[in-house]
Every structure is written in C-alpha cells, then in structure tokens.
Amino acid sequence: KAGVTQTPRYLIKTRGQQVTLSCSPISGHRSVSWYQQTPGQGLQFLFEYFSETQRNKGNFPGRFSGRQFSNSRSEMNVSTLELGDSALYLCASMVDQETQYFGPGTRLLVL
Amino acid sequence: DAKTTQPPSMDCAEGRAANLPCNHSTISGNEYVYWYRQIHSQGPQYIIHGLKNNETNEMASLIITEDRKSSTLILPHATLRDTAVYYCIVRANNAGNMLTFGGGTRLMVKP
C-alpha cells in the first residue's frame, strides 16, 4: 500500500497570508490527524477527523482549521499567517483507534 | 494519556544493541506503549507497540516490565541509519486518536 502523502512538501508564505495543506491517507484509513512540530514546542496535536467529522482538537487558535472529504483526504488551513506558524506540519492516518502512520510532512516557512 | 520520561540523549556503537529506556509509572491498565522514531525532519515512523507482553518485529524488540511502569526498546544491531529521535508514548486505544509526544531520546549511532 502507498503511504500517507502530503502536498506540498515545502511552502514559503508571508505574514498575513493563508495556506492550505493537503493529506491523502493510506487506502482504507478513515481517521486523519494533524500535528505541528516546531523546535520550541515539539510535536503538538492540532486536530483529528474521522468520517468527515472533527473528533478532537488541540489547543490552537481558530486560525487553524481543517476538513475531511468523503474519500478520507484531509486539508488543513491556516489563515492570517504569523511568523510563529513556521513549522513542519504532519499528517497521520489510521484505520481507527489503532496505530497511526505519519506522512513526510509539509515544511512551512512564514516570512 | 500517561506521561513518559526518557533520557534526552544516548550514544551507541554501530553494530551493538541500542537499549532505549522509558518510564511510564502512571500508566493505566488499558494503555499501550508505542514507540516511534523520527529521522531528521522526516515524519515519525512507527516502530512497535505492546500492552504487557514483550513484543518483537523486524525492526526492534519491546520489553515491558511486569508492573508496566517502564519499558525498553531494543535495536539489536544498531546502524548509522538508526540515528534518530525515539519517542515513547502511552495511549489507550479507545481514548481517541491523539498522540502526546514528549521530548524523546536522541540516539546517536557512532561508527
């Protein structure tokens, strides 16, 4: 099976812009979770989607949002970008309540 | 989810076994121990998980103490490609899909 894919892999934006990141889970996986990784805060949970519904949300401002489509693909959006949003954004998929498998990540740089 | 404690860094000679400890003294009866590793700037890679019995797969072995308050991940013959940050996470499979990452152990395999 193909693994979790994330696009784009690298992205440069300026403050105030918005960005949309995409995640395609492993075939058959219905749960998609998003994480942010920064040098200062480490790996932090953003939110999780299952069957197009957000089930869990981490402690992030409302500028961070996401959605899941009927084919389980997911997108996350960050509006009004800030310098501190520069990070590696990781997507993980699982069947449900089982082992999570991570994608390669999208590295976002906000200038 | 229970908190885990890992040493921040360890060294290992190439070809020798790498033994990475993890303390999870507040683990609950239904929580599994998961191990992931992250090679520089890539997505975390699933290694192994277990509940109370020792587990082995093609990558590693997981030894869980009888009281389940600590565990050890063993890489039997470490190679330079095993240099990575190793994360120990405890999670109940029926408690949502959020993983809580700590600081992990930075393993340096040296020639």
Q: CB A100 to CB B93 under 8 A? A: no
Shortest CA gap A17–chain B (Å) = 24
| CA dist B48 → A31, A92, B29, B73, B85 (Å) | 20, 16, 18, 9, 15
Q: CB B93 to CB A98 under 8 A? A: yes
Strongest mean pLDDT among A39-48, A49-58, B24-33, B64-73: B64-73
pLDDT confidence of residue B73 = 98
Query: Over its length of 111 residues, how does chain B's per-residue pLDDT go in tens digits?
Result: 568 999 999 999 999 999 999 999 999 888 899 999 999 889 999 999 999 989 999 999 999 999 999 999 999 999 999 999 999 999 877 666 788 888 999 999 999
Partner B contacted by A46 (CB < 8 A) = no
Residue with tokens 């979770």: A33
| Pair A102, A5: CB distance under 8 Å | no
